Amino acid sequence: MLPIVLAITGASGSAYGVRLLSVLLAAGREVHLVVSPSGQAVIEEELGVRFDLEHPDPAVLLDLKHTHLKCNEFSKKYLDTLHIHNVRNLMAPIASGSFQTSAMVICPCSGSTLAAVAHSMGQNLIHRAAEVHLKERRLLVVVPRETPLSLPQLENMKRIGEAGAVVLPAAPGLYHGAKEISDLIDFVVSRICDQLSVPNDLIRRWGSVS
């Protein structure tokens, strides 16, 4: 099982990215995490915690008992499979196509990040890593959370879709008996995990016996 790259950028919906991180680590997957400065600001605004980009502490994101997230209690064993990179570090392993990964997820994906990836205008490690996944024909899952969508945003989604990316909007379904916000978050995270071939039982699937 090759590593998975996870980027959290400055769109609303940081809970999706943080929950995905927790699920991937609990599944035993190696994760390379990058958080943009705008992503940091949204995490602080929406989850009430400050994730220091210069001195990152994984426990800040993985021990959120006070939120509506169903995050696993932080365990030091995750330190063996979690690698955090500074968004300015273009010398990080994930900036090179020679560093093998299975997939990359940008969750949530801001409009500016979407535009940078769609037009190969990489200015940071997130943009570069996404470009690497496209050029190496590896799975890239982009999770936008914006409404309504402008024509440029729609065109950028079309552009990266044609380049091989999966555009997976953070649009939770309502048919699985959702009762809490965390259920809606888990719906989207489950669909992302399905794209990554990471087994999960986060939701009751359509057609399953209740």
The CATH fold assigned to 4-195 is Rossmann fold (3.40.50)
Per-residue confidence (pLDDT) for residue 141, from 0 to 100: 98
pTM for this entry: 0.94
Residues above pLDDT 70, as percent of the chain = 94
Q: Residues 154-199: pLDDT tens digits?
A: 999 999 999 999 999 999 988 888 889 999 999 999 999 999 999 9
* Among candidate residues 113, 134, 105, the one with its CA nearest the CA of residue 4: 105
Q: Answer yes or no: is pLDDT of 209 > 90.
A: no
How confident is residue 77, by pLDDT bands cut at 50, 70 and 90? confident
Q: What is the model's pLDDT at position 103? A: 98
| Confidence at residue 64, expressed as pLDDT on a 0 to 100 scale | 78
Give exposure, 52-86, as e/b (b: 16+ Cβ within 10 Å). ebeebebebbbbbeebebbbbebeeebeeebbbbe
